[in-house]
């Protein structure tokens, strides 16, 4: 092997072994353009070379699945002929460098993934992690306004999300965006470059030098030189994207369009290779035909540019004019840049000159996977002996107020009001409770959506943490009365080259696979973001679960807040001494340690079925998942959402249950629900039938959260604490 310098390999982020493999596969040395194309498609970001072998463990099929992983987005059948198309994606690295544009283009990319499936995007959700405030203020503000800025302009509501602040994310924030779209199932599109002679039509923005090598950049750790190596951070143009989405909607029924592929990471190279690979075809691209924003771009730059707001359409030969007419109506540029071929190669030419010729499978399926060394990290610093901690909080009302003011638990209103969450006239459950819900106009169908990550728990135990993320997401969906049906996931991890991170990745995926099977939830799309490290420190292992649920009749939907005075309030599920990793331990004792709560998946499933049965029977007035902060925080949230208090007899602990665990422990598989007294007999029947424990906590009404003679805090105090938490 000769002729290639280490410097050049570093530039394209290929190892020497990988280079050798390239030469073997090609039976020759690649030229510079080819090397660049392979480098970027073999990057972790594009190839999933490290995670792919592990991802195979995740279930991806089910009776509702119309499209599993491998396309621009996954799709499920939600009934009445409709398909819901959805995917979540990370934009962590770009957001670390330019928070507004990084987050905005993250939203732009995920909208295009969904639009490329033929769907109209109808909802966006986010999942965010930053270092603590106030140090992370600039990143946090920039990311939130970037997400809002893009979604608001495009006119797709941002209906939900989550945000956490932990020191582990200082310097390497997590910015995940999920989009859900709707399309009649019969009109689902695929990214297939089918039919030799059909044309490749590039539509949307002109191509500039932005983001060249963004994909390989995203596969490297951030350090001081990142500023310089910054691959010209892309600037989003949501206006153009809006026009692109509308034009694709107009083309929804056109048989002239064979396939659609979004241009994302690795630009044209990836889009064309993917579309050809899925169709088992080949493609010819003439870079001279690509409309450009800048002069003097080399073929290499054109093929690797990550300019935003571009879409590749595979169009039936001879019918390009009718497609271009629709694009022109929306003032969108488009150009035929090549055609589908049959020889399994991607040919790149510039006019008459051949620039590159690579077998499509070398770019895609033949990328070698990597199996790395896994070793559990040393967890001695997280050891927790509960017997050393007193069982009674010193001042429970004060502790509750501190928890409500905690940046991880406080009101999200300062964020949510920057997002248009109503455009589309479909948001029937607004953000701020458990899951959000949109209706499908013209039907009674409701689609519930949530994002849930569990970095804290996963740091302590990735297997359990991953199960908790899925269980919590499922509870959030069920709390609206919708049945959880499918998942899109985003796995945010540090460098897998570190054995402990690779171990975390393995454990997380095993935990997820297990929970998915137990709860019958296929994963239909997803994204992996590795190398989330700063100065050698990795973020918490952070799987983010985007879950979708369906309710046949959204008039039966539930919300988290209490509804009427004089309703009974029940705790559903069993409480144990689950204080490990809790926010209570952190706030009251300054400790982040222990083992996360166990997840009894059979019990979890039973509780979900119980909630769905009671909701479907119209027995409940509200339902809310008990999660971080425990039962008292959940009750306080029900009060705050409704501006209603509740009052009950003093709480008692039975058996060996600790008082602090009862109030603030984070045991899984629990809900707080409210219901009219007349529902009680039927609820008790159903609880017996599903073998679920229910416990009467009290009755709604008044302006305090009170357990007589034991605990009392006013709505006003709770509101003040809750609203001020984000500063």
DSSP string, 659-704: HHHHHH---SS-EEEEE-GGGHHHHHHHHHHHT--EEEEEEE-SSE
In the DSSP assignment, the letter for residue 71 is B
Cα–Cα–Cα angle for 447, 450, 452, rounded to 5 degrees: 160
Q: How far apart are CA 2 and CA 31, in angstroms?
A: 13
**64 contacts 169 by C-beta, under 8 angstroms:** no
Q: Which is nearer to other proteins, 422 or 617 (CB)?
A: 422
Q: What are phi and psi of 187, to 5 degrees?
A: -105, 15
CB of 238 to other proteins, least distance (A): 7
Q: How far apart are CA 455 and CA 539, in angstroms?
A: 8
The dihedral sign for the CA sequence 523, 526, 530, 534: negative
CB of 719 to other proteins, least distance (A): 16
CB of 24 to other proteins, least distance (A): 42
Q: How far apart are CA 10 and CA 334, in angstroms?
A: 35
Cα–Cα–Cα angle for 240, 245, 249, rounded to 5 degrees: 145
Please state whether beta strands 646-648 and 704-707 pair in parallel, antiparallel, or not at all (unpaired).
parallel
Closest CA to 231 of 136, 105, 90: 105
Q: How far apart are CA 670 and CA 474, in angstroms?
A: 12
CB of 618 to other proteins, least distance (A): 16
CB of 97 to other proteins, least distance (A): 20
The residue behind tokens 């949501």 is: 238
Tokens matching residue 671: 């809900």
Give the list of residues 6+ apart from residue 274 with CB closer than 8 angstroms, or none: 191, 261, 364
CB of 232 to other proteins, least distance (A): 21
Q: Which is nearer to other proteins, 151 or 211 (CB)?
A: 151
The dihedral sign for the CA sequence 491, 496, 500, 503: positive
CB of 244 to other proteins, least distance (A): 11
Q: Which is nearer to other proteins, 278 or 421 (CB)?
A: 421
In the chain the first and final C-alpha atoms are separated, in Å, by: 59
**578 contacts 597 by C-beta, under 8 angstroms:** yes
Q: Which is nearer to other proteins, 15 or 555 (CB)?
A: 555
The residue behind tokens 């579309």 is: 275
Active site residue 406: no
Q: How far apart are CA 178 and CA 74, in angstroms?
A: 12
CB of 292 to other proteins, least distance (A): 11
Q: Which is nearer to other proteins, 59 or 424 (CB)?
A: 424
Active site residue 93: no
Q: Which is nearer to other proteins, 237 or 261 (CB)?
A: 237
In the DSSP assignment, the letter for residue 598 is P
Give the list of residues 6+ apart from residue 435 with CB closer than 8 angstroms, or none: 160, 429, 448, 449, 450, 476, 477, 479, 480, 482, 547, 549
CB of 336 to other proteins, least distance (A): 20
Neighbours of 518 (CB within 10 A): 17
**19 contacts 5 by C-beta, under 8 angstroms:** no
**85 contacts 188 by C-beta, under 8 angstroms:** yes
Give the list of residues 6+ apart from residue 719 with CB closer than 8 angstroms, or none: 640
Helix, strand, coil % (nearest 5) of the chain? 35, 25, 40
Tokens matching residue 386: 């509960």
Give the list of residues 6+ apart from residue 726 with CB closer than 8 angstroms, or none: 133, 407, 410, 411, 412, 414, 415
Q: Which is nearer to other proteins, 144 or 547 (CB)?
A: 144
CB of 340 to other proteins, least distance (A): 30
Beta strands in 155-271 (DSSP E): 158-165, 174-184, 199-204, 257-262
Please state whether beta strands 120-130 and 174-184 pair in parallel, antiparallel, or not at all (unpaired).
antiparallel
Q: Which is nearer to other proteins, 111 or 651 (CB)?
A: 111
CB of 444 to other proteins, least distance (A): 11
Q: Which is nearer to other proteins, 359 or 414 (CB)?
A: 414
What are the distances in angstroms from CA 330 to CA 239, 249, 314, 491, 547? Answer: 11, 11, 19, 37, 34
CB of 612 to other proteins, least distance (A): 21
Catalytic residue among 91, 93, 345, 421: 91
Catalytic residue among 45, 213, 406, 624: 45
Tokens matching residue 32: 């510079």
Q: Which is nearer to other proteins, 112 or 370 (CB)?
A: 112
Q: Which is nearer to other proteins, 298 or 418 (CB)?
A: 418
Tokens matching residue 47: 């190839």
Q: How far apart are CA 307 and CA 296, in angstroms?
A: 16
**109 contacts 103 by C-beta, under 8 angstroms:** no
Closest CA to 66 of 177, 178, 179, 189: 189
Interface residues with other proteins (CB under 8 A) are 145, 148-149, 152-155, 237-240, 242-243, 246, 295, 330-331, 416-425, 427-428, 430, 439, 441-442, 554-555
Q: Which is nearer to other proteins, 49 or 242 (CB)?
A: 242
Q: Which is nearer to other proteins, 187 or 688 (CB)?
A: 187
CB of 154 to other proteins, least distance (A): 7
Provide the annotated active-site residues.
Answer: 45, 91
């Amino acid at each position: 092997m000769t002729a290639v310098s280490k410097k050049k390999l570093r530039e394209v982020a290929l190892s020497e072994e990988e280079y050798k493999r390239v030469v073997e596969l090609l039976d020759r040395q690649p030229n510079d353009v080819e090397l660049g194309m392979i480098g970027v498609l073999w990057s972790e970001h594009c190839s999933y070379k490290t995670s792919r072998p592990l991802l195979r463990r995740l279930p991806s099929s089910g009776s509702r699945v119309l499209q599993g992983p491998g396309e621009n987005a996954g799709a499920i059948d939600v009934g009445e002929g409709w398909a819901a198309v959805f995917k979540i994606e990370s934009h962590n690295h770009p957001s670390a460098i330019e928070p507004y544009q990084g987050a905005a283009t993250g939203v732009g990319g995920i909208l295009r993934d969904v639009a490329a499936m033929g769907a109209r995007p109808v909802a966006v959700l986010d999942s965010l992690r930053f270092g603590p405030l106030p140090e992370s203020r600039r990143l946090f503000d920039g990311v939130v306004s970037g997400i809002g800025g893009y979604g608001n302009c495009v006119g797709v509501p941002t209906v939900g999300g989550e945000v956490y602040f932990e020191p582990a994310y200082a310097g390497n924030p997590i910015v995940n965006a999920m989009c859900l779209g709707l399309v009649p199932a019969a009109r689902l599109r695929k990214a297939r470059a089918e039919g030799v002679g059909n044309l490749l039509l590039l539509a949307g923005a002109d191509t500039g030098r932005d983001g060249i090598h963004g994909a390989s950049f995203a596969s490297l750790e951030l350090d001081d030189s990142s500023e310089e190596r910054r691959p010209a951070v892309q600037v989003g143009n949501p206006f153009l994207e809006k026009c692109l989405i509308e034009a694709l909607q107009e083309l929804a029924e056109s048989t002239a369009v064979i396939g659609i592929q979004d241009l994302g990471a690795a630009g044209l190279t990836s889009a064309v290779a993917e579309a050809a690979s899925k169709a088992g075809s080949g493609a010819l691209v003439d870079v001279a035909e690509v409309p450009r924003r800048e002069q003097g771009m080399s073929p290499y730059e054109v093929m690797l540019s990550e300019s935003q707001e571009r879409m590749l359409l595979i169009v039936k030969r001879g019918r390009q004019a009718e497609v271009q007419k629709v694009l022109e109506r929306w003032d969108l540029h488009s150009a035929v840049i090549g055609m589908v071929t049959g020889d399994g190669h991607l040919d790149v030419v510039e006019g008459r000159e051949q620039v590159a010729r690579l077998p499509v499978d070398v770019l895609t399926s033949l990328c070698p996977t990597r199996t790395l060394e896994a070793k559990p990290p040393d967890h001695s610093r997280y050891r927790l002996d509960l017997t050393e901690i007193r069982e009674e909080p010193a001042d429970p009302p004060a502790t509750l107020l501190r928890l409500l003011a905690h940046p991880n638990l406080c009101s999200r209103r300062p964020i949510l009001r920057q997002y248009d969450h109503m455009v589309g006239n479909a948001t029937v459950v607004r953000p701020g409770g458990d899951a959000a819900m949109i209706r499908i106009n013209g039907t009674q169908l409701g689609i519930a959506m949530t994002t849930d990550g569990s970095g804290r728990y996963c740091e302590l135990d990735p297997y359990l943490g991953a199960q908790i993320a899925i269980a919590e997401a499922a509870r959030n969906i069920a709390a609206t009365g919708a049945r959880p049906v499918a998942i899109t996931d985003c796995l945010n991890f540090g460098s897998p080259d570190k054995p402990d991170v690779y171990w975390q990745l393995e454990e997380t995926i095993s935990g997820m696979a297990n929970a998915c099977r137990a709860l019958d939830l296929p994963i239909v799309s997803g994204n992996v973001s590795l190398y989330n490290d700063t100065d050698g420190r990795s973020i918490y292992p952070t799987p983010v679960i985007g879950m979708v649920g369906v309710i046949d009749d959204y008039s039966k939907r539930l919300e988290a807040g209490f509804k009427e005075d004089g309703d009974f309030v029940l705790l559903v599920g069993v409480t144990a001494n689950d204080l490990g990793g809790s926010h209570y331990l952190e706030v009251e004792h300054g400790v982040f340690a222990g083992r996360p709560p166990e997840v009894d998946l059979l019990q979890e499933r039973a509780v979900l079925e119980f909630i769905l049965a009671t909701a479907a029977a119209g027995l409940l007035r509200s339902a809310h998942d008990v999660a971080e902060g425990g039962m008292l925080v959940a009750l306080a949230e029900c009060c705050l959402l409704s501006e209603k208090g509740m009052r009950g007899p003093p709480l008692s602990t039975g058996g060996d249950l600790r008082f602090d665990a009862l109030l603030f422990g984070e045991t899984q598989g629990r809900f707080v629900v409210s219901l009219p007294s007349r529902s009680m007999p039927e609820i008790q029947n159903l609880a017996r039938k599903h073998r679920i424990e229910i416990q009467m906590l009290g009755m709604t009404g008044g302006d305090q959260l009170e357990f007589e003679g034991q605990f009392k805090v006013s709505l006003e105090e709770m509101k003040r604490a809750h609203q001020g938490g984000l500063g």
